[in-house]
Amino acid sequence: MSKLSQPPQPSKPPRRTFMKVLVTGADGFIGSHLTEALLKEGYQVRALAQYNSFNYWGWLEDIKPTDKLEVVTGDVRDPNYCREICKDIDVVYHLAALIAIPYSYVAPDSYVDTNVKGTLNICQAARDCGVKRIMVTSTSEVYGTARYVPIDEKHPLQPQSPYSASKIGADAIAMSFYNAFKLPITIVRPFNTYGPRQSARAVIPTIISQIAGGMKEIKLGDLTPTRDFNYVEDTCRGFIELAKCDQAMGETVNIGSNYEISIKDTLDLIKDIMHSDVRFFTDEQRIRPENSEVFRLWCDNSKIRELTGFEPKYSIREGLERTVEWFTKPENLGKYKPGLYNV
């Protein structure tokens, strides 16, 4: 049979090229969820967990192993190591950071070393390795107490804690690499993200874990501040959409819900979801220094909406219901210490 008379061969399915990404801080709260979200979208993920002698991968331990996930352990404070893990990477999601505000009062040097120097190391490594996009994680804490609401990206920065000061410095280092070297950076500025796996140093896990632990009186700090809470899956979607957006290069972009709620109203909503009559009292060690408390945060998310079409999927009640469901499972609650104050 001639070549021309051969029956047609079945066509091969189109081969998808998977972009390879690096997630620093992948063992943490947002980082582990972002790793999962990227894997679901088909990316090859190199996930950095903090090095320790137990080879413990933090919240990555909860993620099902797959050939698209490569877990590495190390430290962003080491520039040589940062260069190694940035090799053959298309996109870096830089989330590795010290984030607990109370701990920054007693160990500020550590925050400069990890948050500022670590960001410098990642930016330099990404430049050396020809990384195509770098998403540097900021925080709404850099805005301090709102001077106007909702807070857009032009709002003044106010370093009201050593933590927020270190993140302001990290953002400035990253943006300097865009201005000086055209490194394709986006500063991603999430407002108050919450959800499964969050540290009990944050207010929502503090409330839920204490109620789930059977306490009738729970310890809290100031209930008057307001926050713009964003469910973690929405935050991760925002990261991924911004990485796809060329117009976001060289920009700082908020991720938030454009919804403001007080800590007191959040407590009442959680009590309603959990059918609890728990009482609260003020624990003085949870009160920030007077000029350090950020009393109002409310996100203007119009910029990310205009750039990517992003809209939050979860309302505050829907997100809290999912968070409560996760925390009240014994295997999850057992990883927390509800009776101890976690700085």
Is 33 part of any domain?
A: yes
pLDDT in tens, 279-298: 987 776 667 777 889 999 99
Q: How many Å apart are CA 61 and CA 224, to the nearest integer?
A: 36
Is 1 part of any domain?
A: no
The predicted pLDDT at position 5 comes to 45
**pTM value?**
0.93
Is 339 part of any domain?
A: no
pLDDT in tens, 50-100: 999 999 999 999 999 999 999 999 999 999 999 999 999 999 999 999 999
Burial class (CB in 10 A: 0-12, 13-18, 19+), 36: buried
The predicted pLDDT at position 288 comes to 72
The structure tokens 């979200």 sit at 37
Chain CA centroid to CA 195, Å: 11
Is 193 part of any domain?
A: yes
Preceding amide of 13 cis, omega within 30: no
Write the single-letter amino acid at 133: R
Is 8 part of any domain?
A: no
How many structural domains is the chain composed of? 1
The predicted pLDDT at position 342 comes to 65
List the one residue out of 234, 280, 242, 240 whose CA is nearest residue 259.
Answer: 234
Is 126 part of any domain?
A: yes
Residue numbers in the chain where pLDDT is lower than 70: 1-18, 284-286, 341-343
Neighbours of 211 (CB within 10 A): 24
Write the single-letter amino acid at 12: K
The predicted pLDDT at position 341 comes to 66
Longest CA span, the chain:
89
Write the single-letter amino acid at 142: V
- Range of 190's domain? 20-333
CATH of the domain at 62: 3.40.50.720
Is 14 part of any domain?
A: no
Q: Are 223 and 269 in contact (CB under 8 A)?
A: no
Is 4 part of any domain?
A: no
Write the single-letter amino acid at 159: P
Cα dihedral 303, 306, 307, 308 sign: positive
